[in-house]
């Protein structure tokens, strides 16, 4: 059997089970220790029965609902290969949009910028920002020790220096220029209909009360105290509750409040600015 024949078998199994057939390429590349981007050049090579059995077994585990990223032990985020582990939130492609929003908010400013990534998980957001803006001073907080340990591994792997803290919210840091977070924002009732993949991740990083906003609401308060006047808050949320948090932000006095779309044109990112003392109380809402 050639790699191409095995790949087609794996794709068929995945597609019949309702999983993306494209995942077969990553599984086969992982089993054969080949770069997925160069796998096509070796598709006519023969594979041993051991390799075929290992690939088929991995596909069987994937069909059961085990996340592909955990099978591979890594994922790509903003150009960085990051280790992933069960019990820690797997970075999603839409969170790359949050990083882009954060970079735009502090555009043209480098020296002395202080950033807090709240609920860092694997360290994806903090490391992506540090990779793009090496001069920024970045803290990353999480309440889970296993998340902090994983983020530390990823930081060391890429030689990126961030300050990791096992602490809630902003860890009471002060004079911060930017607070960024992909907080838990799913309502508790979603647990009953969630795809099986979510069972392998930290529920505290996914669910947050009856409407999904228990933690994000408190984060508004915590970020307010940590940010300097003129500092920015950038959050990823659900299209189903982002406008509820927008109302809470406006009521609290945040300025320059904006909602941005993700690549699927869903309302996904909320940004807001802590006002300068001399600013009037008018609120600004802009949606793009």
Q: What are the structural domains of the chain?
A: 3-64 (1.10.8), 76-287 (3.40.50.150)
What is the structure's pLDDT at 68? 96
Least confident of 170-174, 195-199, 226-230, 259-263: 195-199
Contact (Cβ atoms closer than 8 angstroms) between residue 128 and residue 151: no
Q: CB under 8 Å to 243, separation ≥6 — which residues?
A: 259, 267
How far is Cα 44 from Cα 50, in angstroms, rounded to an integer? 17
For residue 279, what pLDDT is reported? 53
Q: Kindly report, residue by residue over 147-160, the tens digit of the pLDDT.
A: 999 999 999 999 99
In this structure, what token pair is assigned to residue 90?
Answer: 């797997």
Burial class (CB in 10 A: 0-12, 13-18, 19+), 137: middle
Q: How far apart are CA 170 and CA 180, in angstroms?
A: 10
For 47-87, the pLDDT digits (tens) are: 999 999 999 999 999 999 999 999 999 999 999 999 999 99
Q: Provide the pLDDT for residue 159.
A: 98
User: pLDDT tens digits for 92-121?
Assistant: 999 999 999 999 999 776 778 999 999 999
- According to DSSP, the residues that pair with 76 across neighbouring strands are 81
pLDDT at 284 over 50: no
In the chain, the DSSP E strands lie at 74-77, 80-83, 114-118, 137-142, 163-166, 176-181, 227-236, 255-261, 267-273, 285-287
Residue 18 CA to residue 232 CA, distance in Å, equals 41
CA 89, CA 74: separation in Å to the nearest integer?
12
pLDDT for position 107 = 79
The answer, yes or no, to whether residue 282 has pLDDT greater than 70, is no
């Amino acid at each position: 059997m050639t790699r191409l024949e095995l790949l087609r078998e794996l794709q068929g199994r995945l597609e019949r089970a309702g999983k993306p057939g494209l995942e077969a390429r990553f599984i086969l590349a992982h089993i054969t220790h080949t770069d997925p981007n160069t796998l096509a050049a070796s598709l006519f090579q023969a594979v041993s029965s051991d390799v075929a059995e290992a690939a088929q077994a991995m596909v069987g585990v994937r069909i059961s609902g085990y996340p592909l990223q955990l099978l591979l032990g890594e994922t790509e985020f903003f150009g960085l290969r990051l280790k992933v582990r069960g019990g820690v939130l797997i970075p999603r492609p839409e969170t790359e949009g949050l990083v882009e929003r954060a970079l735009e908010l502090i555009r043209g400013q480098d020296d002395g910028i202080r950033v807090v990534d709240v609920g860092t998980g694997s360290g994806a957001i903090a490391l992506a920002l540090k990779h793009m803006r090496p001069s920024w001073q970045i803290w990353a907080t999480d309440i889970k020790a296993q998340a902090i340990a994983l983020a530390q591994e990823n930081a060391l792997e890429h030689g990126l220096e961030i300050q990791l803290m096992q602490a809630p919210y902003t860890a009471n840091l002060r004079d911060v220029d930017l607070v960024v977070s992909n907080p838990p924002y799913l309502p508790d009732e979603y647990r009953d209909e969630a795809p099986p993949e979510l069972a392998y991740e930290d529920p505290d990083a996914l669910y947050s009360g009856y409407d999904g906003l228990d933690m994000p609401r408190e984060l508004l308060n915590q970020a307010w105290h940590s940010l300097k006047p003129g500092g920015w808050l950038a959050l990823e949320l659900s299209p189903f509750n982002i406008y509820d948090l927008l109302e809470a932000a406006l009521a609290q006095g945040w300025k320059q409040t904006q909602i941005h779309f993700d690549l699927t044109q869903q309302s996904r990112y909320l940004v807001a600015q802590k006002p300068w003392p001399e600013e009037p109380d008018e609120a600004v809402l802009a949606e793009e």
